[in-house]
């Protein structure tokens, strides 16, 4: 697994035969200073956690140029299909969908989900976290935008995420202390990468407070520079099974 943080909550994930963009808010993202064409090249799937503009981002343009499949909640998929998306793979909270050589499970998130239509906000389904599983790769949990909630313990029990992408920016999501509690008490992954900070002025600008809150933790915290690729290929990791027939291994 090769993963690149693109600023805010956007990630490029190269896993097996697939290239995923998660919450691809790039153009207009103050934390993204890379090349849009390079960051989106070869995209096979676009995964969305919820409908807010800073997460849907450039989804329509990326899908139009690459023919990528959209993976998102049912209502958000339906809305984007009405805008021209032809290949959608919808799910909903608790469900798992097959996406070629990997699966995506939609988990609960404590947040809201809306889109801007004709200058006004319109609610569109529920927000999600996304668990991505692929044989031979660490289980990835993109938490989306969320507050701390104790049922993260159930997500950890069911999916055993090895790598967690966790929001730390405050105001709209967890801040440093809540994120630290989520990782140390409930999720207990091997690695965590902070996100949803350093972009807009109203958010935390650095991961310093989060790093301080995680001091002494067994979780390895990785704070990449935007655009810096990281390699998480670990073929020796045990595979955590999902319902029979849904995983292509």
For the record, the structure tokens of 172 come out as 């709209």
Provide the pLDDT for residue 203. 97
Mean pLDDT of the chain: 93
Query: Can you tell me whether residue 90 is helix, strand or coil?
Result: strand
Query: Can you tell me whether residue 208 is helix, strand or coil?
Result: helix
With tokens 């972009």, the residue in question is: 199
* Cα–Cα distance measured from residue 208 to residue 193, given in angstroms and rounded to the nearest whole number: 13
Whose CA is closest to 48, among 127, 114, 115?
A: 127
Instruction: Using the predicted structure, report yes or no on whether residue 242 has a pLDDT greater than 50.
Output: no
Give the confidence band of 198 by pLDDT, cuts at 50, 70, 90: very high
Provide the pLDDT for residue 116. 84
CATH fold, domain 2-231, is Metallo-beta-lactamase; Chain A (3.60.15)
User: How far is CA 212 from each of CA 177, 195, 207, 230, rounded to the nearest angstrom?
Assistant: 9, 16, 9, 23
For the record, the structure tokens of 173 come out as 């999501």
């Amino acid at each position: 697994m090769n993963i690149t943080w693109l600023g805010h909550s956007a990630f490029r994930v190269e896993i097996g035969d697939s290239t995923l963009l998660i919450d691809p808010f790039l153009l207009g993202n103050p934390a993204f200073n890379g090349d849009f064409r390079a960051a989106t090249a070869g995209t096979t799937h676009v995964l969305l956690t919820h409908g807010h503009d800073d997460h849907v981002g450039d989804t329509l343009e990326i899908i139009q140029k690459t023919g990528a499949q959209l993976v998102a909640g049912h209502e958000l998929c339906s809305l984007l299909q009405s805008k021209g998306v032809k290949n959608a793979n919808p799910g909903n909270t608790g469900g798992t969908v097959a996406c070629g050589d990997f699966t995506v499970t939609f988990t609960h998130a404590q947040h809201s989900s809306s889109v801007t239509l004709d200058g006004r906000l319109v609610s569109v389904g529920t927000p999600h976290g996304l668990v991505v599983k692929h044989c031979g790769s660490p289980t990835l949990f993109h938490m989306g935008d969320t507050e701390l909630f104790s049922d993260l313990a159930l997500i950890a029990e069911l999916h055993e995420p090895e790598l967690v992408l966790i929001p730390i920016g405050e105001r709209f999501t967890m801040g440093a202390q809540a994120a630290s509690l989520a990782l140390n008490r409930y999720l207990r992954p091997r690695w965590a990468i902070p996100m949803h900070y350093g972009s807009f002025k109203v958010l935390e600008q650095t991961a310093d407070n989060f790093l301080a809150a995680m001091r002494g933790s067994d979780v390895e915290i990785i704070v990449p520079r935007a655009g810096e690729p990281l390699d998480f290929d670990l073929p020796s990791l045990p595979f955590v099974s999902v319902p029979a027939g849904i995983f292509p291994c």
